[in-house]
């Protein structure tokens, strides 16, 4: 044994002797300074030492005693016992773990590890993350602000928790915008772009991670988020110069509520801004009963199942697989999936596969490039089902070509913007407006237009729409409008099966059609002469 090892052991033994002496003088049992695991319980006595048999009685004591890399175990207690209050700020590499059996699927009256934060500690968050921290198997209920929150807490893991009734104080969280909407789109005339003046505020999310300068990962896996008092379910925001890879898998969000003085509510939200890079995988998640009308506030909600928002100069790449969305309520632009560039020149791509979006009060899937500054946006859908929309003002569809209950709508609103849409093996129907809407609005300006709207629709079914099956609209001097529609069946549209409208001169325009079926009749070319196909406004070709 070398001298340095002996010295360390002497120091530790001396520290232990001092702690034992202190315990005799104060009557409070102490844990060894070398402890790597600490225990805390809502039914512990005030003299607990943080051991499994003598746990701490508060999260604050566990926070003070623990060191980076330690594990803190919250012991389960009966449902009649008040949860541990006051919140906790983790240190780097710490694990906060709920003891006992898995909380997911447990009976309501089971003994479970429960925490909350009804105080102003840690800004009202029940758990404050640190880099490398893990939060697992807890019931977090009734927090004043967030259930779990981290700022630049890279490489954090959040798994197997139940987070409920968060943001009791109704603090603002995720902000959407600023952005603008073309004021003359309803009259079919291009105009100069407006300044970005619209901002929508959301309530603080139950689980939220923010990044500004850090590089790393975050994993949010197998959690249930429900019954938010005011605000979102799960949000990830990458701003500044951060570089983040997020994996969000097998989470359920249910009964997510708008809250007082809020304009929007998101079951799941992703945002990349400034010069940030965000890469995200969303796999096996579900968003159920969003903005339920049992709350009067939700009647005016702009609710979203999944909301994806690139802006600034950011880069954003998102993959969504096996997602289930069902029952989105509200009364202002509710959507199952909204992918929207609000401002700046971000470069973004979203791919959605093997997913369903069912029943929403608004457009079911929105692919909106609203930026007037030259953003690039790309959406790919493969094996996606979008059905059952409604909207109170859907009768305005002949005038307003979007936001009224279309199954899938894609827009390109910038003079130098590029938007493309690819749809394969998908199914759209029972919508209160169009089946698929494709809208190019190019604002006026002195510089030459380079605006591009490109689409490719294949092996897809559109059935039962209150307006058109496919509606192609151009307003302004769009540079390129190019599309392909092949092996697609379109039926039971109240207006045209396929319709095109052009209010200006397009630099290069062509839509290529292949085989398919119109109202159940097979067609060698979907652009062939048919009483319910109106394509006179744009050049077309047959394959």
pLDDT of residue 19: 34
Contact 124, 146 (CB under 8 A): yes
Q: Which percentage of the chain shows pLDDT scores above 90?
A: 88
For 488-509, give one letter per residue: b (16+ CB within 10 A) or e.
Answer: bbbbebebbbbbbbbbbebeeb
pLDDT digits (tens, 9 = 90+) for 455-465: 999 999 999 99
pLDDT of residue 29: 36
pLDDT digits (tens, 9 = 90+) for 403-432: 789 999 999 999 999 999 999 999 999 999
pLDDT of residue 499: 96
As a whole number, mean pLDDT of residues 274-283 equals 98
pLDDT at residue 442 tops 60? yes
As a whole number, mean pLDDT of residues 123-136 equals 98
pLDDT digits (tens, 9 = 90+) for 191-214: 999 999 999 999 999 999 999 999
Contact 199, 143 (CB under 8 A): no
User: Which residues lie closer than 8 Å to 333 by C-beta, 6 or more apart?
Assistant: 302, 362, 363, 403
pLDDT at residue 387 tops 90? yes
pTM for the whole structure: 0.93
As a whole number, mean pLDDT of residues 118-136 equals 98
pLDDT of residue 31: 45
Q: For 413, left (φ over 0), alpha (ψ -120 to 50), or beta?
A: alpha
Whole-angstrom Cα distance, residue 111 to residue 107?
Answer: 9
Cα distances from 487 to residues 166, 456, 462, 518, 531, in angstroms, run 47, 11, 12, 11, 20
pLDDT tier, 15 (very low <50, low <70, confident <90, very high otherwise): very low
pLDDT tier, 394 (very low <50, low <70, confident <90, very high otherwise): low
Q: How many CB atoms lie within 10 A of CB 37?
A: 15
Which phi and psi angles does 317 have, rounded to 5°?
-130, 120
Average pLDDT, the chain: 92
Contact 190, 441 (CB under 8 A): yes
pLDDT of residue 14: 34
pLDDT of residue 493: 96
As a whole number, mean pLDDT of residues 176-191 equals 92
pLDDT tier, 34 (very low <50, low <70, confident <90, very high otherwise): low
pLDDT digits (tens, 9 = 90+) for 463-508: 999 999 999 999 999 999 999 999 999 999 999 999 999 999 999 9
pLDDT at residue 250 tops 90? yes
pLDDT at residue 68 tops 70? yes
Whole-angstrom Cα distance, residue 40 to residue 97?
Answer: 10
pLDDT of residue 404: 83
Could you tell me the residue ranges of all domains in the chain? 1-30, 31-131, 132-542
pLDDT at residue 35 tops 80? no
As a whole number, mean pLDDT of residues 343-354 equals 98
HSE of 200 in the Cβ direction (CA atoms, 13 Å)?
21
Cα distances from 60 to residues 63, 84, 129, 371, 445, in angstroms, run 5, 10, 15, 46, 59
As a whole number, mean pLDDT of residues 423-451 equals 97
């Amino acid at each position: 044994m070398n001298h340095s090892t002996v010295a360390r052991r002497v120091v530790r033994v001396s520290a232990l002797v001092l702690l034992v002496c202190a315990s005799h003088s104060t009557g409070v049992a102490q844990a060894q300074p070398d402890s790597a695991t600490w225990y805390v319980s809502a039914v512990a006595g005030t003299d607990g030492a943080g051991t499994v048999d003598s746990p701490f009685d508060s999260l604050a004591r566990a926070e003070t005693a623990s060191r980076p890399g330690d594990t803190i175990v919250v012991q389960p207690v009966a449902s009649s016992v008040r949860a541990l209050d006051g919140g906790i700020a983790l240190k780097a590499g710490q694990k906060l773990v709920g003891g006992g059996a898995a909380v997911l699927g447990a009976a309501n009256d089971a003994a479970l590890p429960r925490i909350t934060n009804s105080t102003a500690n840690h800004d009202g968050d029940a758990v404050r993350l640190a880099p490398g921290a893990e939060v697992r198997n807890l019931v977090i209920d009734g927090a004043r602000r967030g259930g779990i929150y981290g700022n630049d807490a890279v490489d954090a893991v959040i798994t197997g928790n139940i987070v409920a009734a968060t943001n009791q104080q109704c603090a603002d969280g995720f902000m959407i915008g600023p952005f603008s909407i073309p004021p003359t789109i309803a009259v079919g005339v291009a105009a100069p772009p407006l300044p970005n003046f619209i901002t929508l505020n959301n309530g603080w999310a139950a689980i939220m991670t923010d990044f500004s300068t850090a590089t790393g990962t975050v994993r949010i896996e197998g959690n249930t988020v429900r019954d938010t008092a005011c605000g979102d379910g799960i949000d990830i925001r990458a701003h500044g110069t951060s570089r983040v890879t997020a994996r969000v898998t097998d989470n359920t969000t249910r009964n997510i509520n708008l809250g007082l003085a809020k304009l929007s509510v998101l079951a799941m939200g992703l945002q990349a801004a400034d010069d940030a890079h965000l890469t995200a995988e969303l796999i096996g998640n579900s968003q159920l009963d969003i903005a339920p009308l049992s709350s009067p506030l939700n009647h005016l909600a702009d609710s979203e199942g999944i909301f994806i928002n690139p802006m600034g100069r950011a880069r954003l790449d998102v993959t969504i697989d096996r997602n289930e969305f069902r029952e989105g309520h509200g009364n202002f632009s509710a959507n199952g999936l909204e992918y929207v560039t609000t401002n700046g020149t971000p470069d973004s791509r979203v791919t959605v596969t093997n997913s369903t979006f069912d029943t929403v009060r608004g457009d079911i899937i929105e692919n909106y490039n609203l930026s007037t500054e030259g953003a690039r946006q790309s959406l790919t859908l493969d094996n996606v089902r979008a059905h059952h929309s409604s909207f109170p003002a859907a009768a305005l569809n002949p005038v307003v070509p979007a936001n009224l209950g279309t199954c899938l709508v894609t827009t390109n609103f910038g003079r130098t913007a590029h938007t493309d849409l690819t749809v394969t093996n998908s199914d759209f129907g029972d919508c209160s407006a169009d089946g698929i809407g494709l809208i190019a609005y190019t604002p006026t300006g002195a510089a030459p237009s380079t605006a591009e709207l490109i689409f490719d629709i294949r092996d897809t079914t559109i059935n039962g729409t209150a307006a058109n099956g496919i509606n192609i609209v151009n307003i302004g001097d769009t540079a390129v409008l190019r599309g392909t529609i092949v092996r697609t069946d379109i039926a039971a549209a109240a207006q045209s099966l396929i319709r095109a409208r052009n209010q200006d001169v397009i630099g290069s325009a062509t839509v290529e059609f292949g085989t398919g079926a119109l109202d159940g009749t097979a067609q060698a070319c979907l652009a062939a002469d048919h009483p319910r196909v109106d394509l006179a406004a744009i050049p077309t070709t047959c394959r």
